[in-house]
Amino acid sequence: MEYSAAEKAIIWLCSRPEFDSRTRAALLRASGDPARIFSDFEKICSQVIHPPQNGLYKGDRSSRGREAENLVAALREKGYFAVTAASADYPAALGHVYDPPLVLYGAGNRALLAERKFCVVGSRVLPPWAEKTGRSISEALTQRFAVVTGFADGGDSAAIAGALPSGKLICVLPNGLDVCYPASHAQLRRDVAKKGLLLTEYPPATGVQKYSFHARNRLLAGLSEGVLVLAAGRKSGTLITADCALEYGREVFALPHNVGAAQGVGCNELIKKGAYLCTDAEDIFAAFGMQAPARRAPVLSDGETRVLSVLRETGELHAAVVAERAGMSVCEVQAYLSSLELKGLAVRSGGNRYAPL
């Protein structure tokens, strides 16, 4: 695709390491028309930077133009694109965000930026039921939203697994597009870039920094209309996303966890403070006043129904206890449980225990 002069000017401005993000924003504001950055950069600098610093940028008009062309060519060569504050499809929602990025680098399906967006996040270690629930919720959400999430293990992976098949998935990275973190997600990164969209505010080749996760979380919340927290410990990083969401006026949802479960303390705290309690995608659709898409009820045999009702009575149970309460042998129950698991109605939560979904 072709970039306008204004877009090229912003891409160039964001590539200069001499300026921090606040100065860049001020320079852009002072320019009036971004394209002026190429012609009158020295003048704009003298308006913005006090006291004037000589030799901050040594190039002239033609070198700026050349550098911008090189940057655009490099992006194109790697198959990336840049959405700038001057682009038509720049997400307007980012206007609420503190220090909004002037450029978003992306790889994949650019059209997703125009969709309604909803964020699903969770800590890296979470109970299996929360993972399965997160997966099915984000799968259902794709019927109305593009799912926005990070790229880590656990909660992010659950959201990705649910949304990736439909392609309505935006992963916001805390690093440049050509850096893979965690390295074990190399294949996943390729899949998301092919079917969904990878997005980041960092130019290519930027590595991961500790602070960039926090900065990324503000974009997760900023891009989305609401945030669902699958699991969060007391000091989990996902709570930062939830805090940002509150600050920007987004809806916050949380899965309820068992009292005392360390991996869910943060979620329960959010609910206490007034977040929506969410157990399935319909809760989210209802909060946005949407009609929930119709669901197909699975067909169950008598045995499966009995096992499922035993499970639903008390929640998580050991297979042997299910067998005892349902009055069946352990091997029968094993068979029913694994068929319920395949139908997405139960989940194995470790130690031969199963939880209903």
Q: Which residues contribute to the site for other proteins (CB under 8 A)?
A: 124-125, 128, 153-154, 182, 184, 262-263, 316, 318-321, 323-324, 330-332, 334-339, 341-342, 349-353
Of 47 and 339, nearer to other proteins (C-beta) is 339
Minimum CB distance to other proteins, residue 157 (Å)? 9
Retrieve residue 244's tokens: 């940002």
Contact (Cβ atoms closer than 8 angstroms) between residue 334 and residue 321: no
Minimum CB distance to other proteins, residue 155 (Å)? 11
- Which of 201, 148, 193 has the alpha carbon at shortest distance from 170? 148
In whole angstroms, give the CA distance from residue 354 to residue 314.
11
Of 23 and 338, nearer to other proteins (C-beta) is 338
Of 149 and 349, nearer to other proteins (C-beta) is 349
Contacts for 125 with CB less than 8 Å, ≥ 6 apart: 153, 154, 263
Of 293 and 327, nearer to other proteins (C-beta) is 327
Minimum CB distance to other proteins, residue 230 (Å)? 14
Minimum CB distance to other proteins, residue 140 (Å)? 17
- Which of 193, 5, 153, 172 has the alpha carbon at shortest distance from 101? 172
Minimum CB distance to other proteins, residue 34 (Å)? 42
Of 87 and 236, nearer to other proteins (C-beta) is 236
Residue 57 CB neighbours (<10 A):
14
The pair phi, psi for residue 171, each rounded to 5°, is -105, 125
In whole angstroms, give the CA distance from residue 175 to residue 213.
9
Q: b vs e for 75-108, b when ≥16 Cβ sit within 10 Å of the residue's Cβ?
A: beeeebbbbbbbbeebbebbeebeebbbbbbbbb
Of 246 and 335, nearer to other proteins (C-beta) is 335
Minimum CB distance to other proteins, residue 120 (Å)? 18
